[in-house]
Amino acid sequence: MAVATTFLLLLLLTTTTNSAPTYTTSIPANFTASHFQFIDQSGDFLRSTNRTYTAAIANPQPTSPSFYLLVYHSQSHTVIWSANRNNPITNSAQLRLSNTGLTIHNDSGVPVWSTPPIQSTVASLQLLDSGNLILVDRFNNTLWQSFDFPTDTVVSEQRFPVGKSLIASRNPADFSEGDYSFEMTTGDGMLRWRGLTYYRLLMDSKSVKNSNRPVSYLVVNGSGFYLFGDPGSGLVAQILITAPTANPGYRILKMTNEGRLVVMRYRDNVWVTDFATPSEDDGCRVPSHCGKLGFCSGGGCSCPPGFRGDRSTNGCSPSDASLSLPESCDSNSTRQRSNSSEDYIYVQLGKGMSYFSIGFTNPIKTGMDQSSCEDLCSANCSCLGFFHGNPSGSCYLLENHLGSITSSSNNGVNDPLGFIKAISSSISSRDLDDDSNSDFPVIGLVLLPASGVLLISIFAVWILRRRSNKTVSKTKKSMNGSFSGELEVFSIAGLPVRFDHGDLVEATADFSTQIGSGGFGTVYKGVLHDKTVVAVKKITALGAQGKKEFGTEIAIIGNIHHVNLVKLKGFCAHGSERFLVYEYMSHGSLDRTLFGSGPPLEWQERFEIALGTARGLAYLHSGCEHKIIHCDVKPENILLNDNMQVKISDFGLSKLLSPEQSGLFTTMRGTRGYLAPEWLTNAAISDKTDVYSYGMVLLELIQGRKNCVQATNRSSGNPTSSTDGRSSGSSGSRNHPRPRSFYFPLHALEMHEECRYLELVEPRLTGRVSKGEAEKLVKVALCCLHEDPSLRPTMANVVGMLEGVLAVGEPRLECLNFLRFYGRRFTEASMAESGAEVEMPNGFMVATTDNSSSPTASLNSFSYMSSQQVSGPR
Ligand SMILES: *[C@@H]1O[C@H](CO)[C@@H](O)[C@H](O)[C@H]1NC(C)=O
Ligand SMILES: *[C@@H]1O[C@H](CO)[C@@H](O)[C@H](O)[C@H]1NC(C)=O
Ligand SMILES: *[C@@H]1O[C@H](CO)[C@@H](O)[C@H](O)[C@H]1NC(C)=O
Ligand SMILES: *[C@@H]1O[C@H](CO)[C@@H](O)[C@H](O)[C@H]1NC(C)=O
Ligand SMILES: *[C@@H]1O[C@H](CO)[C@@H](O)[C@H](O)[C@H]1NC(C)=O
Ligand SMILES: *[C@@H]1O[C@H](CO)[C@@H](O)[C@H](O)[C@H]1NC(C)=O
Ligand SMILES: *[C@@H]1O[C@H](CO)[C@@H](O)[C@H](O)[C@H]1NC(C)=O
Ligand SMILES: *[C@@H]1O[C@H](CO)[C@@H](O)[C@H](O)[C@H]1NC(C)=O
C-alpha cells in the first residue's frame, strides 16, 4: 500500500516534473503538504516574509526515514521548532491545514498530531520573521502560535513564559523527547534529568539577581538572559553573556541532549557556544555524565570502590559478581520478584561520595536511624538506593533511575552516606564476565563463548551510547538528499560545524604547516580561535560524484563517535574546494611511532594499539547506523593521541574519491600492501576486506617494521628506506638470513608452521614477550589473511579473541597458500629492473616504475610501496 502510494507519487512527480512552489508569509486554509509534494524544495513549503525562517516537512538527516513538520532558521538550517517530535511521519504523509486547524496524518490518514481545538475559523497559516508559526482568523487575530509550544529551543527575543519547558531531543538525529529538560518556574530556571532537578539557572556564577519578585518570563537577546517579572515589575534577574557587539549574529537558547542549557551564536557560517550551564568545568553536575553509578570527579569518570565498569549499562555495577542491581518497578520489567527485604543487600558507597539529587530535594524523613531508612527503601520497589546522614538522621531515597555519583563538595564527617540496593543472585549473567572467584566455575566455562558474543554486541551498544559529553557548537539540520552540487547554503545534521574558509586560512596560517598527506589530500596543522589544535585535511581527490555526496557523507561521518575513531570537528566547502577539520593527534600516525627511529613500542602498547584498532573497525562495521567499510586500513591511518590511544582516521571517505583516484586507490598496493586479494579479482569488497588489511597491520605491529621490505638501492627519496635498512640489519643476525627483498607475511606463515612465534617479534623486545602472547597475535593476524573473505573472522570476533573472551582461531593453511605465491612474486618483482613487468595471476600486471616518475610519488602515505603498482582491468 505504502509502496504503491510512493510509486504513484513518484510517477506523479516525474510526469508533472515540478513540485509545488514554496509559499511566502502566508498560506490560506484548505491546504495540504507532504515532503514529496515539495521535494524540489527539500520539503520547504513556507518562508517568512524576509526569509529568515522556513517551515518544512523534512527529516533531521538525509538518510533518516523520520519526517517532521518543523521551522528552521534558513541560513544555518537549525531547527527551532518541530510539531510532531514524538510522532514522526514518512515522506509521503500529509500535513493538512483546514479552517479548524493544523493536523498531521500518518500514511493511513490517521492524525498523529494536531493543534488544540480552535473556536474561530482559521483563515491562514503564517510564518513570521520572528520564527513564530501562527494560525490566524480573517482579521489576522492569532488563534494559535508555535511560540506557545516550544520544543528544545528559544530564539532571540522570543518570550519563554513560566510553566513552559524545553525538552531536549533524544539525540541530534532523533527529535523525540529525551531525558533532559529546562523548566521556567517563578523562582528560577530548573534543569532536570528524568524529572529530577540537578541545576538551577541562577546557580550560575554569572547570574545577578535584582529582586525577589516572581519571574514571569525569560528572554534571550544579543547580550544575555533576562528574567522578567509581571509587566511593570521589571527585571528580576539576569545573566550577562557578552557586551552587545555591532554584529552579534543570530542567537538561540537551547536545551541540549547532553544536559546543558546553552546559548549559541551563528555568525559567518559557524555556530559558537557563548554560554553553557552547567559549565564545562562543572561537568559532574550533569547526572548522566559518567553513566549509571559512574563516579564523576573533576569531569573524569571511574567506578566507586566496590564497583566496576559495566558495559551493558554504560556505567558501573557491583564488583561482586553475585550481586546485581534491581530494575526499578517503574520501568516495566515485570520480572516477578519477592518484596521481602532479606533479598536486598546494600552496597555502601565510600565517604565523600554524593548524589546530585540530594542537593535539590528534601529528605523523605529526618530523625531516622540508618536501618529504618534502609527498610523504607526495601519496602518500595521504585527505590534503588538511599543516603543517610548523621546526626540529623535524614533519609534520602533514590528513586526510579540512578545517575552518576559525584564527590561531595564539603568533605565533612556529616555528609550523608550512600547505599545502593542490590539483589544477591547466585547466577547472574555477570558471573561469566571475568570473575576468578566465581562459585560456579563449570557453568562459567561452559557459557564463556556465549558470553563473549554477548559482550561484543553489548560493547557495540555501549560504545554507541558513550558519546562525548562536551558541549560543542552544533547545528541541527533538516536536510534531504536533493541539494545540488553547490553547497553554499547548507549545513549538516549532527555535530560537525561548518567552518568559514577564511577561518581555516587563518587557523593554518595559510596552510603553512603540512603534517601529512595521503590518498585523499594534504593535511595541515591549525589552531582555531578557541585555541584548539586541529588537523585540516584539504581533499584533493574529490570526484564530481564525491562533491555531490560530500554533504551526505560528512553527515554520516560526523555522527560517528567512538573512542578509537578520530572525531570530525567540522568541514568547509569553499568554491570547489572541500576541507575536513579533525581533532589533532599529538603522536601522529602509527607508522611514525612503529617504524620511526625512537624507542620501540613495548609489547603491551602494541597489544593496546591492536585492540584499539580492532575496536574502532568493529564499530565501523557493526556499531553504527550505516555500516562503513574503511577500505584503507594501514598504519598511516591509525593515529595515536597523548595516551597512545588509537584513533582511526579517514573512515567513510572512500566513497568520495574520483574514479581516477579510486582506481589508484584500489590498485596501488597489490600484493605488498594491506590490500586484500579480492581487490584484484573483482570480488565483492566487504568488511572482510578491512579485516585482511588489519591482519597485515597486526603483523607489522608484531615485527615493528614493514611487511614488504624492498631492495632500496635506488629509492633514496623514500623516507622509510633508512628505517627498513636498520631493521633489515638487525634481523641479519637471525638464523634465516633475509633476502634483500622480503615478504614478511610469508615468513610469518612459515614460522607459524614451525611454532616459532617468538622469532617474529621485534628483536628489540627479546625476552620481554612470552611465546603465548606472540602466538596469539600471530594466529589472529594469519586468520585475518585467509584468502576466502568468508573464512576471515569479523572485527568483532577479533576484538573478542584479543580480549580473551573468544578462543583464538587456528589459521587454515589451505587458505594461506596464496601468500607463498605473493611472496615469490614480490621478491621477483622487486628484483626486476625499473619498467619491467611481471605476470600476475588473473591477468593482472605488475608494473614496476621508478619512484620519482611515478604519478603517485606525491602521495606520501603510499610512498613506501609506490615503486610498484599493480594495475587491473578496471
Ligand atoms: C475549505 O473547505 C471547506 C470545506 O470543504 C469549505 O467550507 C471552506 O469554505 C473552504 N475554505 C476556503 C478558504 O476555501
Ligand atoms: C497510523 O496510525 C494508526 C493509529 O496509531 C495505526 O494503526 C496505523 O498503523 C498507522 N499507519 C501507518 C501507515 O503507520
Ligand atoms: C527579518 O526580520 C526580522 C524581524 O523583523 C529581523 O530581526 C531580521 O533582521 C530580518 N532579517 C533580514 C535578513 O532582513
Ligand atoms: C493579514 O496578514 C497578511 C499577511 O501579512 C496580509 O497580507 C493581510 O492583508 C492581512 N489581513 C488583514 C485583514 O489585516
Ligand atoms: C537585551 O535585553 C536587555 C533587557 O531588555 C537590554 O537591556 C539589552 O540592551 C538587550 N540587548 C540587546 C543586544 O538587544
Ligand atoms: C509501562 O507499561 C504501561 C502499560 O503497559 C505503559 O503505558 C508505560 O508507558 C510503560 N512504561 C515504561 C517506562 O515503559
Ligand atoms: C509485593 O508487594 C505487592 C504490593 O505490596 C503485593 O501485591 C505482592 O503480592 C507482593 N509480592 C510478593 C511476592 O510478596
Ligand atoms: C514508592 O515510592 C513511590 C515514589 O515516591 C511512590 O509513588 C509509591 O507510592 C511508593 N510505593 C509504595 C508501595 O510505598
Mind listing the pLDDT tens digit for each residue in 7-41? 444 444 443 445 678 899 999 999 999 998 888 88
Strand-pair category, 315-318 with 323-324: unpaired
Going by pLDDT thresholds of 50, 70 and 90, the confidence category of residue 64 is confident
Measure CA of the first residue to CA of the last residue in the chain; give whole Å.
Answer: 42
Measured distance CA(397)–CA(543) in Å, rounded: 60
Which residue's C-alpha comes closest to atom 9 of ligand 5?
223
- Of residues 785 and 269, which shows the higher confidence score? 785
Tell me the per-residue pLDDT of 73-106, one tens digit each, with 9 for 90 and over: 999 889 999 999 999 999 889 999 999 999 999 9
Identified catalytic residue from 152, 431, 632, 724? 632
Ligand number, closest to the Cα atom of 236: 5
Give the percent of the chain with pLDDT over 70: 73
Residue 165 and residue 126 share a domain: no
Specify the 3-state DSSP secondary structure of 39: helix
Whether residue 324 sits in one domain with residue 352: yes
**Interatomic CA distance for residues 336 and 339, integer angstroms:** 9
For residues 373 and 267, state if they share a domain.
no
Task: Compute, in angstroms, the gap from residue 53 CA to the centroid of ligand 3.
Answer: 10
- The amino acid sitting at 547 is K
Domain with residue 543: its CATH number is 3.30.200.20
> Does residue 862 lie in a domain region?
no
Q: Is residue 137 part of a domain?
A: yes
- Describe the chain by its helix, strand, coil percentages, rounded to 5: 30, 25, 45
State the alpha helices, DSSP H only, in 715-817.
721-731, 744-753, 771-784, 795-803
Q: What is the pLDDT of residue 721?
A: 33
pLDDT in tens, 253-285: 999 998 999 988 887 778 888 888 888 777 888
The Cα angle at residue 271 between residues 268 and 277, in degrees rounded to 5: 145
- Do 411 and 299 belong to one domain? yes
Residue position matching grid coordinates 563449570? 442
Which residues contact ligand 7 via a Cβ below 6 A? 338-339
For ligand 6, is residue 334 a contact (CB within 6 Å)? no
* Mean pLDDT, range 710-725, rounded to an integer: 40
174 within some domain? yes
- Domain identity same for 702 and 833: yes
Is 101 part of any domain? yes
Q: Where are the alpha helices (DSSP H) in 406-523?
A: 441-465, 501-507
Output DSSP code: residue 756.
Answer: -
Residue 29: all three cell numbers together: 486554509
Same domain, residue pair 30 and 89:
yes
Q: In terms of domains, do 829 and 769 share one?
A: yes
Q: How far is the C-alpha of 609 from the C-alpha of 593, rounded, in Å? A: 11
In this predicted structure, the answer to whether residue 734 has a pLDDT above a threshold of 70 is: no
Average pLDDT in the chain: 76
Last residue of a domain, one of 584, 604, 623: 584
Distance 435 CA to ligand 7 centre (A): 34
Q: Is 632 a catalytic residue?
A: yes
Same domain, 313 and 268: no
Range of the domain at 185: 153-276
Please report which ligand is nearest the Cα atom of 222. Answer: 5
Per-residue pLDDT at 518: 66
How far is residue 126's CA from residue 25's CA, in Å, rounded to a whole number?
Answer: 5
CA of 476 to the centre of ligand 5 (A): 26
CB 349 within 8 A of CB 355: no
Ligand 2 pocket, residue 274 CB under 6 Å: no
Select from 584, 611, 640 the last residue of a domain: 584
681 plus 795 within the same structural domain: yes
Rounded Cα gap, residues 147 and 131, in angstroms: 8
Q: 175 CA to middle of ligand 6, Å?
A: 20
State which of 158, 225, 226 you would mutate to test the pocket of ligand 5, scoring each by most atoms of that ligand within 8 A of its C-beta: 226
Asked if residue 300 belongs to a domain, the reply is yes
Give me the CATH number covering residue 90. Answer: 2.90.10.10
The CATH number of whichever domain residue 783 belongs to comes to 1.10.510
Q: What is the pLDDT of residues 787-797, one digit of tens each?
A: 988 899 999 99
Residue 137 Cβ inside 6 Å of ligand 2? The answer reads no
Using the 3D structure, point to which of 115, 148, 181 is the last residue of a domain.
148
Q: What is the mean pLDDT of residues 224-245?
A: 82
pLDDT in tens, 424-460: 764 333 333 333 332 222 222 223 333 333 333 333 3
**How many CB atoms neighbour CB 655 within 10 A?**
17
Residue 799 within a domain = yes
Is the same domain home to 747 and 848? yes
Whether 626 is in a domain gets the answer: no
Provide the pLDDT for residue 740. 63
Point out the ligand 5 atom lying closest to the alpha carbon of residue 224.
Answer: 1
Each residue of 494-546: pLDDT tens digit?
A: 346 778 888 889 899 888 888 877 667 788 999 988 888 899 988 876 666 66
Which of 341, 380, 381 to mutate to test ligand 8, by most ligand atoms within 8 A of the CB atom? Answer: 380
The count of domains in the chain is 5
- Co-location of 343 and 415 in the same domain: yes
Q: Is 399 in the pocket of ligand 8 (CB under 6 A)?
A: yes
The pTM assigned to this predicted structure is 0.54
Same domain? For 143 and 171 the reply is no
* Confidence (pLDDT) at 308: 83
- Is 433 part of any domain? no
CA of 140 to the centre of ligand 4 (A): 6
